[in-house]
Structure 1
């Protein structure tokens, strides 16, 4: 089955975070209390893409092994439906998501970049790897994005799915429609400021 054919069936899209929605770098800034403050950079293209995906009917979330306040803030900004942090075995979270959404694993897309993502990617309906993914991950991916993680790979994945489903242009026009209240509030993040 082609990647496009697989994409037509996708209802839920789950991203890894580090190396997929970020470039994989983790900045630790020393705090005055002796603890570090973690900072990451996220791509605005991915954020807008998540809004488009949601408007196109996708249910979207993240699963990551790390625990990060930065990720929690960004997930809140993006209005992600599924947010799982501290997940050493990501299939546990996937099984929970499948139970909540009442879909089969063939209707789930997962975007990952490293070996921790392999168990999910081996089973899901559409496995996507960003351009900077490890070789083992690219080898099993159904689709490899043109852009690297943290530089639009998430948007590439969403555009690929919506394009295969024949809804990308419609969703873009809906987003641009000044009278659409959904579009006006789709990606208004505040960064918890």
Structure 2
């Protein structure tokens, strides 16, 4: 089956996000891989736009990303991935069988937990001066990526033999881990997996920030 969408929206999907947010990029990446028309609307996080009454109507938690697909509004990056996959390419990016779904869900949980408090947090320290313990989040990142490297040594994709939402959800913050001073030099299987994701038709990259990178 093609990586692109089976169905098409009636109008471009609106993605409210921030270009340097890995959570926003998850949603944008799947939109691009599906070949869906979309409009990216940059949210002024520094100006607090995400906490305004208008935005809180879209997501009462005041967080990005949010998509608007006609009258349907979906918040949370992983929820957006599930919605897009099931709405526009059912069975392709999220398997229909219970075992396949469980394998993907495992990595969606990792994305919301170990990734968020590992490489994502390390990157927040350097780019946005977040108050995490730098050495702790870097060490946590390496533990996660070491496990990924082992698993990717026996299969090409995180949840099986084909790319799924698991790969989309985890990709961005691992690819940009060096921005948080988390080197990927010791993880050849992870680097090869990143290259496979980047070779998928329709792939779109998140901008690279060099703020905080060591010389």
> Which category of TM-score, normalised to the shorter sequence, fits these structures?
under 0.3
TM-score between both structures, scaled by the size of structure 1? 0.27
Q: Which has the higher contact order (CA 8 A, sep 6+)?
A: 1
Name the one with the larger helix percent.
2
Bigger radius of gyration among the two? 2
Please give the TM-score of this superposition, normalised by the length of structure 2. 0.25
